[in-house]
Amino acid sequence: MATPSHRRSLRTRRSIVVTAASVVAGVGAGFLVLNANAAGTSVDLAHQTLAAKDGWASSGAGTTGGAKADAAHTFTVSTRAQLVKALGSASDTTPRIVRIKGTIDANTDDSGKKLSCATYSAGTGYALAAYLKAFDPATYGTSKLPSGKQETARAAAQAKQAKNIVFRVPANTTVVGVPGTHAGITGGTLQIQSVDNVIVRNLTFAATQDCFPQWDPTDGDSGNWNSQYDAVTLRGATHVWADHNTFTDAPGLDTADPTYYGRQYQIHDGDLDITKGSDLVTVERNQFTNHDKTMLIGASDSDSVGKLRVSIHHNVWKGIVQRAPLARIGQIHLYNNFYDTTGLNGYVLQYSVNSRAKAQVVAEDNYWRTPAGQKTSKLFSGDGTGSIAGGGNLVNGTATDLVAAYNAAHSKKLKTTVNWTPTLTAGLETSAKNLPTELATTTGAGVLN
């Protein structure tokens, strides 16, 4: 078997702080504490800010996104062109709120016309058949990356697609789905790069696809096709809160992808990747489903030491192959998540959590549902340098030492101690037993109103 690639290729009661001005017209500065999920309570999702002590993103000044946006910087959008205009310049730090109403197809032009992979490759000289002929390992070899006319053309076509589907989010921004509208982005990617204070919530990210994956014969034992474009990508971003989103490959599942050079022609990259020194991130109450390489924390073993601090809690992972997450270097708190590792639509588990490159993971009070015959030793993974501490994790309702199970079956052992103690733990439930039922109806896009 080929070596897998590790490259970057409601709770029912929760206090939320919003500006009083967003609730009572004419009232000056100040704050009002609302219970976001209490029965009969309706609040403005766009003005909610991350609660105190709710994970790493609450550290320091916390995460407020665009809560202070004025009327001139508050937008409701329903097309790709409107979204681009509302986001404005990635260097503009003026607080802004972008409400997405309905589903935006990123692969459209400014008039709304549908664009295809052929549209992006037109005029570049790229052709898949020619690319496959040029870099066939039998003639090109397996020791170097592709270079030459077809690789240059492939990169040019990929750049054309990126120009259309990558949405750059500026600092102090909230991007939120309008309740009841099936809000989301299809085929696109939110890029949160070198900015601070961003909130992304109540959105479905579907079918983010790279038309032009690159062949890398040096990746793994047998080479790999590597794509660009995460649904949401953080690069050097700080204070980011991702809440109540849904991530899925559907309708473009991996089972529909062809095989070239004996390897899957992978058109999907990550769902939510946190790399390049990103820091102070909270990922909560999302659903991740029908995906392979789901969440990467740290792009390489030389990513930024002292950063990559991420809290991941109350999420559902179902039909996920790997990277839930794969963590490098940072301090990651993983609690009260529900993993259903039953194979789904061709997505079959390799592992759930991977700690490598001296990552310091605390995994506590999570719940795994596994099918008959699946080995508990497959739930964790590592390279012999990463740590996973914590306890209270359940497998099919039974308390299980997942690190011990992994270490008993592998020569490269996970370490069992970490160099930090989580303190930003709002909402931590000390028992995982009810998570499968609780999180079924309180996670993902569409449950907030």
The DSSP H or E segment spanning 103 is strand 103-105
Tell whether the model's pLDDT for residue 334 goes beyond 80.
Answer: yes
Known active-site residue 96? no
Tell me the average pLDDT of the chain.
92
Tens of pLDDT, residues 406-418:
999 999 999 999 9
Q: 249 pLDDT band (50/70/90 cuts)?
A: very high
pLDDT at res. 43 = 66
Q: Which of 263, 323, 328, 356 is catalytic?
A: 323
Cα gap 435→367, rounded to integer Å: 7
Tens of pLDDT, residues 142-173:
999 999 999 999 999 999 999 999 999 999 99
Of 356, 320, 326, give the one whose Cα is nearest residue 338: 320
pLDDT at res. 65 = 98
Of 339, 353, 434, give the one whose Cα is nearest residue 390: 353
Cα gap 182→176, rounded to integer Å: 12
Tens of pLDDT, residues 61-117:
999 999 999 999 999 999 999 999 999 999 999 999 999 999 999 999 999 999 999
* Sign of the CA dihedral with 342 first, then 343, 347, and 352 last: positive
Rg (CA), the chain: 22
Cα gap 176→431, rounded to integer Å: 31
Does residue 227 contact residue 268 with C-beta atoms inside 8 Å? Answer: yes
Tell whether the model's pLDDT for residue 35 goes beyond 50.
Answer: no
pLDDT at res. 29 = 28
Tell whether the model's pLDDT for residue 31 goes beyond 70.
Answer: no
Q: In percent, how much of the chain has pLDDT > 90?
A: 90
Q: Rounded to whole angstroms, what are the CA distances from 381 to 310, 354, 403?
A: 18, 4, 9
What does the pLDDT average to over 124-146? Answer: 97
Please tell me the pTM assigned to this model: 0.91
Those residues whose C-beta lies under 8 Å from the C-beta of residue 66, and which sit 6 or more positions away, are: 46, 73, 74, 95, 96, 97, 98, 172, 173, 174, 199
Residue 349: how many CB atoms within 10 A of its CB?
Answer: 23
